[in-house]
Chain A
């Protein structure tokens, strides 16, 4: 069976390489038979990789310890769901998952476009299979998942495996990597379409229309992946934070930033025919950052608390990135005439301008994060000394950028295209500015003096007011015209233009998340050595350590502190933070206990028993105001993204502004 798995991978590599060659040559020389065979090869690659993955998963589920991968990542006592999750629990498996997802996406793209885009598809397939070939190469030659241990031939035996890293045995972590990968891999598709239309000088913006859904879905998955990572860091890693500017976290954030910039600036191209070069650069950058992110997490180039393997993958990735970046840059430079803008910026006070600054800020943030992440690598190369920068650097740059972006989130959607006057601005923003001023005044009255927190919450109120106003105005006119009740009118309004109102919902989600992040300005923490039976205080809470119990199950043994929580003197329940030692790996982990409420979380970690006093426990207690709003905001963002994906009831035709005398559009040939 293992032979079958390895052969499937090898065959998948050959087929992917074949599909790349066949579709390139077929597209170039216009050979329909070659193209058809390339298409079928794409399905073939998908089937083969599915078979290989199925074999690996089967081995994991049945605890077949002849497989080195299974013996290292799994053990008998693990629950079935984590046995399955061990598929992506290690280097070889997660690269296989990457490959498999790419093949799945490719197959879907080829199937759904089988009768469309005859001109583009050969090159779309070429880009997809080029990437696929690279990852299959890694699967076959660099990180083969089907290494066998010589078990059961009288040489050795493996009674039980090492088990999945206990830190990964948590439900969020079981689905975090696939979600992130669905995002990483998905950006290949819009990139492939962009590349193909660039190569073929495809008139019009077909590639944007075709890949809009892809980009959105992919962006959604990437958001889910990042948020799951934050949720996991918060609930499992036990340091009380959700984001540490760790290289691996940054790796997932980078393509999200450029992807967000892309989603915004394609609107400029769709509606005004502007920023074409820019969009091409953005989608390419997003794709390369996805590959680069995989490279960062998988090669161990920058040391990280996530402690992933160091491996020889690095040079492969550098090679792949160098080749594909050069090809893309070369192509963009050769096609600059095709990417000529159809309109010009006319005023600083305009929708165009807000998009421009949105892009500028996102890119600046992306660059700063990339710079900070690679700082040790850069300084080592330039100065011969490894220097790293920490969270203060990232916060210092990204907090102002985030706030400026938040401001634009409120301003952008309400400001007019082309040019806007101060008068109309005053009209549009009178109420939101008033709400913002009131919010800040109330906060100051309640004693909030933190500068960034004040600005942030004020801006949150501002943006929320603009969004509410937009919904209210639209829904009121529908309600008046068609005698609907207000709630139904809101739904109707959203349904008529899902892109616009879905977008507002996403913005609303972002606002709620900002409220949650701002809460971190008011965090409290304390570490106490407490005798069993005595108590300590943090914020409004009084914590009584009642007892410490212990026990074990086949997977791990545990020690648990039972702590009674009193809030303002009133008993509100017990929290039970726990320490575990996993049997297979002998690795200790801490399970924090969290009391989640909308206003603040109480977060307890049982650090250890005291060494000087066996009757005392060391407890770390934290109060995190507003954290829950991050997760709530995330659900709103997700909901908004889904709304964006629903087709609008009314088909809007976006008239393009024509600037006479600058550039005449060619009539589009019938497809």
Chain B
């Protein structure tokens, strides 16, 4: 039994350490998903939270100033827009461009601009259609499709 007790203690020690590491890892890197309007109405007390916000890149809004990139994203339905400035060190994804769906990760500064530390982007559903939108985007106007 003594052997099993030893194993028990060792296993508990390993798992305990890992659980502690995991908990602190979550505390450090947890990020909340917010919509643009939720972000704008966020109380001041939560301003320091890390947030992930998604929206469509406003056409013509991408502007590079030195190594920082400024752009705007907007919500489709409610039309709320958000100024974003990206200063992260990773290059922007190739899919990031006008009208792409962008996901910005970062914090809201007191002046209302969003400081993003990373950007992910999907191209405007050219390759893959979301469910419910029926068929993928028509290839050119008037393309009819029939399934077998």
Residues of chain A within 8 A (CB-CB) of B147 are 144, 147-148
- A520 beta carbon closer than 8 Å to chain B: no
Taken residue by residue from 7 to 37, chain B's Cβ proximity to chain A (1 for < 8 Å, 0 otherwise) reads as 1001100110110011011101111110000
Chain B interface size band reads 35 or more
B110 to chain A, nearest CB (A): 23
Residues of chain B within 8 A (CB-CB) of A386 are 32-33
Given contacts A156-B142, A348-B6, A525-B89, contact A303 B25 (CB under 8 A): no
Taken residue by residue from 123 to 148, chain B's Cβ proximity to chain A (1 for < 8 Å, 0 otherwise) reads as 10011111100011001101111111
B147 to chain A, nearest CB (A): 5
Given contacts A528-B67, A620-B91, contact A309 B32 (CB under 8 A): no
* A389 close to B26 (CB less than 8 A): yes
Q: Which of A360-396 contact B (CB under 8 A)?
A: 360-361, 364, 368, 371, 375-376, 385-396
- B97 beta carbon closer than 8 Å to chain A: yes
Residues of chain B within 8 A (CB-CB) of A348 are 3, 6-7, 10
* A68 close to B145 (CB less than 8 A): yes
CA distance A378 to B122 in the complex (A): 24
Given contacts A392-B29, A612-B65, contact A605 B91 (CB under 8 A): yes
Given contacts A150-B145, A610-B64, contact A368 B22 (CB under 8 A): yes
Chain B CB within 10 Å, residue with most, of A6, A305, A311, A585: A305
* B146 close to A587 (CB less than 8 A): no
- B43 beta carbon closer than 8 Å to chain A: no
Residues of chain A within 8 A (CB-CB) of B105 are 390
Residues of chain A within 8 A (CB-CB) of B126 are 162, 585, 587
User: Which residue in A146, A400, A587, A618 is a CB contact (below 8 Å) of B21?
Assistant: A400
CA distance A238 to B119 in the complex (A): 13
CA distance A6 to B33 in the complex (A): 41
* B94 close to A590 (CB less than 8 A): yes
* B145 close to A388 (CB less than 8 A): no
Given contacts A158-B139, A393-B26, contact A618 B18 (CB under 8 A): no
Residues of chain A within 8 A (CB-CB) of B39 are none
For the A-B complex, the count of residue pairs with Cβ-Cβ distances under 8 Å equals 175
Taken residue by residue from 290 to 318, chain A's Cβ proximity to chain B (1 for < 8 Å, 0 otherwise) reads as 00000000000001010111111000000
CA distance A356 to B95 in the complex (A): 45
* B28 close to A393 (CB less than 8 A): yes
* A371 close to B22 (CB less than 8 A): yes
- A234 beta carbon closer than 8 Å to chain B: no
* A240 close to B22 (CB less than 8 A): no
Residues of chain A within 8 A (CB-CB) of B94 are 166-167, 238, 587-590
* A309 close to B128 (CB less than 8 A): yes
Q: Which of B77-104 contact A (CB under 8 A)?
A: 89-95, 97, 103
- A325 beta carbon closer than 8 Å to chain B: no
Q: Which residue of B lies closest to A395 (CB)?
A: B25
Residues of chain A within 8 A (CB-CB) of B148 are 2-3, 6, 144, 146-148
CA distance A528 to B105 in the complex (A): 23
CA distance A385 to B11 in the complex (A): 33
- B107 beta carbon closer than 8 Å to chain A: no
Given contacts A310-B131, A368-B18, A400-B17, contact A238 B91 (CB under 8 A): yes
* B91 close to A388 (CB less than 8 A): no
B49 to chain A, nearest CB (A): 10
Given contacts A71-B139, A588-B97, contact A305 B120 (CB under 8 A): yes
CA distance A6 to B28 in the complex (A): 51
Q: Which of A385-443 contact B (CB under 8 A)?
A: 385-397, 400-401, 404
Q: Which of A149-190 contact B (CB under 8 A)?
A: 149-150, 155-156, 158, 161-162, 165-167
* A396 close to B21 (CB less than 8 A): yes
Q: Which residue of A lies closest to B142 (CB)?
A: A156
* B22 close to A162 (CB less than 8 A): no
Residues of chain A within 8 A (CB-CB) of B122 are 307
Given contacts A307-B128, A345-B3, A611-B64, contact A527 B89 (CB under 8 A): yes
A645 to chain B, nearest CB (A): 33
A366 to chain B, nearest CB (A): 12
CA distance A72 to B128 in the complex (A): 9
Q: Which residue of B lies closest to A241 (CB)?
A: B90
* A91 close to B128 (CB less than 8 A): yes
Chain A CB within 10 Å, residue with most, of B7, B52, B91, B93: B91
- B63 beta carbon closer than 8 Å to chain A: yes
Residues of chain A within 8 A (CB-CB) of B140 are 156, 158
Residues of chain A within 8 A (CB-CB) of B135 are 68
CA distance A376 to B7 in the complex (A): 34
* B63 close to A393 (CB less than 8 A): no
- A663 beta carbon closer than 8 Å to chain B: no
- A545 beta carbon closer than 8 Å to chain B: no
* A389 close to B25 (CB less than 8 A): yes
CA distance A375 to B66 in the complex (A): 36
Q: Which residue of A lies closest to B22 (CB)?
A: A397
* B28 close to A618 (CB less than 8 A): no
Residues of chain A within 8 A (CB-CB) of B25 are 389, 392-397
- A571 beta carbon closer than 8 Å to chain B: no
User: Which residue in B10, B33, B66 is a CB contact (below 8 Å) of A376?
Assistant: B33
User: Which residue in A308, A387, A608 is a CB contact (below 8 Å) of B128?
Assistant: A308
CA distance A397 to B21 in the complex (A): 6
Residues of chain A within 8 A (CB-CB) of B145 are 68, 147-150
Cβ contacts A to B, 27 pairs, < 8 Å: A71-B139, A146-B148, A158-B143, A161-B139, A162-B139, A165-B127, A239-B91, A240-B91, A310-B128, A346-B3, A356-B7, A357-B10, A360-B11, A368-B18, A368-B22, A371-B22, A388-B33, A388-B52, A392-B28, A393-B25, A396-B28, A397-B18, A585-B127, A587-B126, A608-B64, A612-B65, A620-B91
Beyond the given A303-B103, A393-B28, could you list 15 further A-B residue pairs with CB under 8 A, ordered by the A residue number? Answer: A3-B148, A68-B136, A149-B146, A237-B93, A309-B129, A348-B7, A385-B33, A386-B32, A387-B30, A389-B30, A393-B22, A404-B14, A588-B97, A608-B64, A612-B65
Tell me the B residues contacting A by CB distance below 8 Å: 3-4, 6-7, 10-11, 14-15, 17-18, 21-22, 24-26, 28-33, 52, 63-67, 89-95, 97, 103, 105, 120, 122-123, 126-131, 135-136, 139-140, 142-148
Please name the 8 residue pairs, one residue from A and one from B, whose CB atoms are nearest each other, closest first. A396-B25, A309-B128, A393-B25, A386-B33, A392-B29, A390-B29, A307-B122, A527-B67
